[in-house]
């Protein structure tokens, strides 16, 4: 293969200067951080703690959690019971007991996480009787060895994206082709990027663009040629994704592809949810949701890539691709509901709490914020249960992997059938996303959002947090205190089902 090079590699001398500048910058940032701690707990550098906590609470001190020194802490435990009789997804199953409130402790995270006040005498951190919970079985392992995924982005974004990409690609046998668009990137950097992904069981090939004058949008179309060249005999599908395209369940993607014929030209993707964007950019597969093309279509396009790049007025990758397909092939778009471009801004809580089972998610670290890999961790254990909803005691809704919401005065099934209009100008999305209800005022809905999920000794621990004021001591002096709810899931052993 021809060695591509866009610019000469960075010299050692300029590298040294860059390192010094970056170090000084980071130190400045660190110093600033210490000053702006406010009520957040104090943490010594280099992970030194003054008084450490018991191992089952110590994670609460993690800096990235950003919790207040004192927190209100509750813990609940479930034992998943695999069942084929779980209720259909649209209806919210009822559980006739409360999820929260039976007891809460206030912990001091800077003092061994000791209990400084408690609503009941028992130590709940240590006594957590698991409640049996009927839940769907895990999906079978996904085999994506017939798919080549392609992305065009920078080296650092590829490094940062490992946790999210590995959630769905690791161990699936998929081929992953990355066009690294940095102005200059060394062979060593490309090789160590491949090693990084290899250590997560992902077969990555990292290359430079075949024409460095293209900008990153154009690269998203020009990659067609590389997908063609780097596909294997096994490859039936080529997918173009953004570096923030996330698939909660790779098995669902294998199911989607299996329902289409890969021996004829096929162009499969998701429309934007924004009617304005459709009016402006047109009907096409919006790349952030993931675009899937059969190899016969890729072969047809391969010979037209230069021509389309030269002819096209639009320079957006998605528009170049659809224009080239419409101008040079007979293939129409198959629009798949469930592939989400998520062209919305603000709080997407109403979407994530709507009972949706998304095939893909996008814009989760830019237009909105959602820890998608942590959220979807539950899908590894009970597949279909991701974002499934249960209602406890008529007023508390668990949207699995995303949130726990306590509605003052309860919430009805007809209300839960509607999407809560939480994000910016949400009502404008009713035509594309479905019927909505008004956003519930913060004073009437207490929300705990998931910030972390981690497997510990075969159990899954989900951490939900509600930042803000809490005045449990009732002395009128409101101290800003975060509230933490932990859900611990244990699962049947293999020989039990």
Ligand X SMILES: *[C@@H]1O[C@H](CO)[C@@H](O)[C@H](O)[C@H]1NC(C)=O
Q: Which spans of this chain sit near ligand X (rule: CB under 6 A)?
A: 82-84, 143, 145, 173, 175, 203, 211, 213, 232, 308, 311-313, 320, 323-324, 327, 497
- Closest separation in Å from C-beta 373 to ligand X: 22
- Closest separation in Å from C-beta 326 to ligand X: 7
- Closest separation in Å from C-beta 159 to ligand X: 19
Distances (CA, A) of 408 to 140, 243, 281, 365: 40, 39, 42, 31
Contact criterion met (CB below 8 Å) for 187 and 206: no
CB nearer to ligand X: pick between 189 and 312: 312
CB nearer to ligand X: pick between 327 and 478: 327
Distances (CA, A) of 60 to 86, 297, 328, 448, 490: 33, 51, 57, 15, 20
How many other C-beta atoms lie within 10 A of the C-beta of residue 13? Answer: 8
Contact criterion met (CB below 8 Å) for 429 and 404: no
CB nearer to ligand X: pick between 165 and 320: 320
- Closest separation in Å from C-beta 359 to ligand X: 20
CB nearer to ligand X: pick between 232 and 303: 232
How many other C-beta atoms lie within 10 A of the C-beta of residue 127? Answer: 9
User: Two tokens at 118?
Assistant: 């408690």
Length of the chain: 497
CB nearer to ligand X: pick between 119 and 329: 329
- Closest separation in Å from C-beta 25 to ligand X: 35
- Closest separation in Å from C-beta 150 to ligand X: 14
Contact criterion met (CB below 8 Å) for 231 and 262: no
CB nearer to ligand X: pick between 317 and 350: 317
CB nearer to ligand X: pick between 11 and 84: 84
434 dihedral zone (left: phi>0; alpha: psi -120 to 50; beta): left
d(CA 449, CA 442): 14
- Closest separation in Å from C-beta 171 to ligand X: 7
Pick from 392, 403, 406, 407: which is nearest to 464 by CA? Answer: 403
How many other C-beta atoms lie within 10 A of the C-beta of residue 63? Answer: 11
Per DSSP, what are the bridge partners of residue 460?
455, 489
- Closest separation in Å from C-beta 490 to ligand X: 16
449 dihedral zone (left: phi>0; alpha: psi -120 to 50; beta): beta
CB nearer to ligand X: pick between 138 and 248: 138
CB nearer to ligand X: pick between 175 and 359: 175
d(CA 222, CA 467): 45
- Closest separation in Å from C-beta 327 to ligand X: 4
Contact criterion met (CB below 8 Å) for 72 and 484: yes
CB nearer to ligand X: pick between 284 and 344: 284
263 dihedral zone (left: phi>0; alpha: psi -120 to 50; beta): alpha
- Closest separation in Å from C-beta 145 to ligand X: 4
- Closest separation in Å from C-beta 307 to ligand X: 7
């Amino acid at each position: 293969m021809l060695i591509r090079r866009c610019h000469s590699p960075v010299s050692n001398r300029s590298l040294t200067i860059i390192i010094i500048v970056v170090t000084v910058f980071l130190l400045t940032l660190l110093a600033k951080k210490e000053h702006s701690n406010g009520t957040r707990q104090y943490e010594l550098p280099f992970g030194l703690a003054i008084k450490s906590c018991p191992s089952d609470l110590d994670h609460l001190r993690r800096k990235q959690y950003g919790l207040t020194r004192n927190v209100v802490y509750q813990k609940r435990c479930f034992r998943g019971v695999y069942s084929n009789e779980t209720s259909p997804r649209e209806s919210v199953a009822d559980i006739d007991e409360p999820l929260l409130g039976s007891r809460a402790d206030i912990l001091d995270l800077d003092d061994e996480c000791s209990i400084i006040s408690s609503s009941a005498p028992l130590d709940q951190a240590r006594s957590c009787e698991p409640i049996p919970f009927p839940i769907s079985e895990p999906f079978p392992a996904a085999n994506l060895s017939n798919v080549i995924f392609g992305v065009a982005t920078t080296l650092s974004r590829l490094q940062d994206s490992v946790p999210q990409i590995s959630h769905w690609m690791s161990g699936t046998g998929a081929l992953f082709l990355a066009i690294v668009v940095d102005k200059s990137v060394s062979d060593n950097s490309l090789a160590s990027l491949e090693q990084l992904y290899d250590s997560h069981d992902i077969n990555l090939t990292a290359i430079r663009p075949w024409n460095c004058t293209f900008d990153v949008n154009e690269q998203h179309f020009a990659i067609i040629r590389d997908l063609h060249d780097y596909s294997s005999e096994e490859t039936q599908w080529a997918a173009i994704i953004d570096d923030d395209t996330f698939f909660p369940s790779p098995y669902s993607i294998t199911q989607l592809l299996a329902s289409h014929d890969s021996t004829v030209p096929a162009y499969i993707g998701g429309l934007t949810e924004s009617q304005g964007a459709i009016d402006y950019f047109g009907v096409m597969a919006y790349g952030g949701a993931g675009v899937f093309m059969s190899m016969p279509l890729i072969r047809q396009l391969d010979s037209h890539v230069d021509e389309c790049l030269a002819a096209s007025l639009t320079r957006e990758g998605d528009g170049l691709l659809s224009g080239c397909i419409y101008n040079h092939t007979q293939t129409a778009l198959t629009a798949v509901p469930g592939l989400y471009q998520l062209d919305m801004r603000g709080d997407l809580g109403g979407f994530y709490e709507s009972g949706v089972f998304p095939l893909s998610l996008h814009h989760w670290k830019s237009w909105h914020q959602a820890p998608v890999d942590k959220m979807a961790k539950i899908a590894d254990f009970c597949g279909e249960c991701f974002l499934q909803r249960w209602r406890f005691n008529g007023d508390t809704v668990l949207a699995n992997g995303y949130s726990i919401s306590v509605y003052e005065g309860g919430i009805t099934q007809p209300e839960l059938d509607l999407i809560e209009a939480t994000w910016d100008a949400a009502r404008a999305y009713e035509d594309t996303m479905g019927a909505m209800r008004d956003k519930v005022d913060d004073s009437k809905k207490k929300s705990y959002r998931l910030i972390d999920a981690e497997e510990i000794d075969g159990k899954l621990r989900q951490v939900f947090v509600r930042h803000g004021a809490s005045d449990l001591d009732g002395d009128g002096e409101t101290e800003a205190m975060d509230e933490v709810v932990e859900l611990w899931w244990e699962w049947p052993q293999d020989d039990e089902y």
